[in-house]
Structure 1
């Protein structure tokens, strides 16, 4: 069943992104980086890579799966979609017999995984090009792309598109808002920082963001709080306003056929851009396949695939595809997150959130 799901996701990815259909097998093309073929030979002997938390509808992972499989046909792939914090919990529970080869998460959760000794040193291709705040010194995690908090709005269900955090508190948005739980999903943590920025707070003072969540619930404007990405439900027209990342809205608008029925709005007061990281799991069952997969995401090819999914590449100098650049407008109100500070604030956000929604 899992392989069938992956095959279907891969096929959809290639239809949606036709340029990827021309990706060649490593056997028929030059190396993307020195040593790629030797690493592939070692990975082929393992035959599998287990990739935690890379849900296919998130950040263009389906297209990455498709291109990886086409390039490395003797390495199968399996994945799950747990959420960032839940991924760290799963790694910790299985640390004596790890099941995963790689783990992907909001970078604050990556810091947590490194602090718990769950991930290994590994510096992929292009590692040294990353800004220092985007990587662990020994490569126990590194940023592969960033994502920006936005309102993703179904205009068929919402008459007036909200433009700001203040707008979202208005009575006309009663029972319309969906978001992911900050206690279990990295995007929920980033959302809280974005709300803090938009209400006078900052990385050192996240309480305004927690207070805002409480106000949103008290106003009756929250329809549901979810644990995993509800992209399919949004496409089906089941979600009026989704506090999500801009890439999900842009993908729904430009790739998955919703067109002008979708508005993607970065709130005018402020928002937050979150680095997302990935790691090689310590003592994972298929270390060479894991390294092959991580390297691929950091090559020019892999970084370009992220951009095709409307997420911003982490490696400086990667050119945005022409058909994407004009869909990612400059947004000076967006503030980058310091992931180490974000990680240090997680317990405060978790406790504050529980209190805010209980009142």
Structure 2
């Protein structure tokens, strides 16, 4: 999906900061004027000015606006927007949508890009942005050294500031004994009762499908083909796939993002989540600065804010996994409590488009 995006021209704004050094001192006697042993007269100081070291740089003042395209979740994106605007004075123009919709918008605007920061719910999709030369390197991001390294780019092209895990969400009223493994959903008892998100719309669902296939190879398609034969329905993006399970129209959502399930459960909905012991995929949600950003300083400050204590606490409150190793997940299993399957991110990036096309044809 990102392969159609071409390299865009780099437009970076730079600011030159000058420094003046002022001070006050003692007036020496004029040459040739006798001193007669008396103390020299001094001129009274008229002002006291702090002397700044010549090599000390002032922090750049941020201004203007920042355009952010975010794959949600909505309440988190809005909370971060409010916190950032309060801290910096820079106003954010926000577009929220699924990973697929964000990438489609970028594709439509490629001749005249306007976005500064992009947040996707898929690591391979963000890797594609970097591979296509669309991201700006930012190596000095604050707190980047505290991030889970596997979720971010070592060269500073994207930052996995949060993540979700994929699992089996189920209606607790309809499913007193939930399935334990992915293959269990091919059994007759679940025929016509299961939804799966559309990987063309959900970046995290695509991460699950490509992650599963990267470990299983072509034989991995056998499970997906059995899902189709057992009536598993492709049902839009994550929320659209989950809602029928909450209402009871369906019993289970497979490869559903966990944080939506935990949010609904916290509101009293009859829903819960399990992670198969054979492992699942944890899907990072990376943020990247786009190379054509018209306000790169404000964009860098936005990345810094995403990685701050304040924003990471917001992430935990939303039932997502925080991107920083020193911030704990809240009211949900943490990274070390979720069994993970062995996956190949590079394979997932390279084969994402082909997998999406084949999956869509299979489930249409």
TM-score normalised to structure 2 length: 0.72
1:311 aligned onto 2:320 = yes
1:299 Cα deviation from its structure 2 partner: 1.3
1:163 aligned onto 2:180 = yes
1:242 aligned onto 2:253 = yes
1:217 aligned onto 2:225 = no
2:285 to 276, 290, 295: 276
Residues 261-317 of structure 1: CA distance to partner in whole angstroms, max 9, x if unpaired?
A: 11111123321112221111122243333222221111122222212222222222x
1:253 aligned onto 2:270 = no
RMSD: 3.1
Q: C-alpha separation between the residues in 1 aligned to 2:239 and 2:95?
A: 12
1:152 to 145, 157, 169: 169
Q: Helix, strand or coil for the counterpart of 1:119?
A: coil
Residues 1-44 of structure 1: CA distance to partner in whole angstroms, max 9, x if unpaired?
A: xxxxxxxxxxxxxxxxxxxxxxxxxxxxxxxxxx9x945x31xx
Q: C-alpha separation between the residues in 2 aligned to 1:190 and 1:269?
A: 17
Gaps of 5+ in 1: 1-34
Q: C-alpha separation between the residues in 1 aligned to 2:184 and 2:192?
A: 14
1:101 aligned onto 2:116 = yes
Q: C-alpha separation between the residues in 2 aligned to 1:50 and 1:264?
A: 35
1:136 Cα deviation from its structure 2 partner: 2.6
1:75 aligned onto 2:86 = no
2:355 to 328, 343, 349: 349
Q: CA 1:348–1:266 in 2, change beyond 3 Å: closer, same or farther?
A: same
Q: Helix, strand or coil for the counterpart of 2:179?
A: coil
Q: Does the 8 A contact of 2:166 with 2:281 survive in 1?
A: yes
1:118 Cα deviation from its structure 2 partner: 1.8
Q: Helix, strand or coil for the counterpart of 1:230?
A: helix
1:298 to 295, 307, 314: 307
1:116 Cα deviation from its structure 2 partner: 1.3
Aligned to 1:18: none
Q: C-alpha separation between the residues in 1 aligned to 2:285 and 2:344?
A: 12
Q: Equivalences for 1:12-51 in 2 at 5 Å?
A: 38=59, 41-42=61-62, 45-46=63-64, 48-51=65-68
1:54 Cα deviation from its structure 2 partner: 3.2
> Radius of gyration: which is bigger?
2
1:71 Cα deviation from its structure 2 partner: 3.4
Q: C-alpha separation between the residues in 2 aligned to 1:151 and 1:204?
A: 19
Q: C-alpha separation between the residues in 1 aligned to 2:241 and 2:96?
A: 13
Q: C-alpha separation between the residues in 1 aligned to 2:342 and 2:161?
A: 15
1:240 Cα deviation from its structure 2 partner: 3.5
Q: Does the 8 A contact of 2:72 with 2:98 survive in 1?
A: no
Q: CA 1:234–1:61 in 2, change beyond 3 Å: closer, same or farther?
A: farther
Q: Equivalences for 1:65-214 in 2 at 5 Å?
A: 65-72=81-88, 74-105=89-120, 106-123=122-139, 124-130=141-147, 132-158=149-175, 160-193=177-210, 196=212, 203-214=214-225
Q: CA 1:193–1:97 in 2, change beyond 3 Å: closer, same or farther?
A: closer
Q: C-alpha separation between the residues in 2 aligned to 1:300 and 1:103?
A: 21
TM-score normalised to structure 1 length: 0.73
- Give the helix-richer structure, 1 or 2: 1
Q: Does the 8 A contact of 1:162 with 1:168 survive in 2?
A: yes
